[in-house]
Structure 1
Amino acid sequence: MAIDSNFDQNRERAGEENGVAVWGPVEPPEKLGIHGTHVAVDYDICLADGACLENCPVDVFTWVDTPDHPVSEKKVEPTNEDQCIDCMLCVDICPVDAIDVDASRQA
């Protein structure tokens, strides 16, 4: 199941972590929600293979720890989503479709 590309309409904003918006539901450690707005990562399906972080030409992503999450104990945070150039490489290489980039959504 891929990230909901309309999460900003279908989910409530649950707060902020590391300067990044978090969209619920959030019930740690199992449900961590979607992190980011312009560049969004669904933490509930991200398996942390690191392809997006390693291949992003403008270093949008950083690692964050997510202890006891059933899929992986670390995730990629779109910490620098304001630097995104909308190349869509992260969307294209994510093996589980956990990332969505939408130029109409602003961080």
Structure 2
Amino acid sequence: MGIDLNFDANREKVGEENGVAVWGPVDPPERLGVHGTHVAVDYDACVADGACLEDCPVDVFTWVDTPGHPESDRKVEPTREDQCIDCMLCVDICPVDAIDVDASRQ
């Protein structure tokens, strides 16, 4: 199952990590929520194949450690989501639909 496209309405913002908004529920290490707002990554769906990080033309993503998560021990975080050019490549390339980019959420 991919990211909830209405996460900002359906989830509560529970804090920030590395300057990136985190939307709950969060219960580490199994549930890590959605990270980001304009560029959002569902950490619970992300399998960390790295395609978005490798292919992003403006380097929006960085690796962060998520030890103990059932899908992977690291995730891509939209650390520089303010640099996003809305090309949607990350959305198109994600094999599990864990990413959403929405220009109305900034």
Taking structure 1 as the reference length, the TM-score comes to: 0.99
Question: In the comparison of the two structures, how many residue pairs are matched?
Answer: 106
- Corresponding position: 1:28 with 2:28: yes
User: Which amino acid is the alignment partner of residue 23 of structure 1?
Assistant: W
Residue number in structure 1 paired with 2:43:
43
Which portions of structure 1, spanning 4 or more consecutive aligned residues, are displaced by more than 3 angstroms? none
Q: Percent identity?
A: 85
- Three-state SS of the structure 1 residue aligned to 2:14 is strand
- Three-state SS of the structure 2 residue aligned to 1:52 is helix
1:2 deviates by 1.0
1:1-107 pair list within 5 angstroms: 1-106=1-106
CA RMSD of superposed structures (Å): 0.2
- Three-state SS of the structure 1 residue aligned to 2:92 is helix
User: Which amino acid is the alignment partner of residue 101 of structure 2?
Assistant: V
User: Which amino acid is the alignment partner of residue 34 of structure 1?
Assistant: V
User: Which amino acid is the alignment partner of residue 105 of structure 1?
Assistant: R
1:76 deviates by 0.1
Taking structure 2 as the reference length, the TM-score comes to: 1.00
Instruction: Name stretches of at least 5 consecutive residues in structure 2 with no aligned partner.
Output: none
- Three-state SS of the structure 1 residue aligned to 2:76 is strand
User: Which amino acid is the alignment partner of residue 73 of structure 2?
Assistant: E
1:83 deviates by 0.1
Instruction: Name stretches of at least 5 consecutive residues in structure 1 with no aligned partner.
Output: none
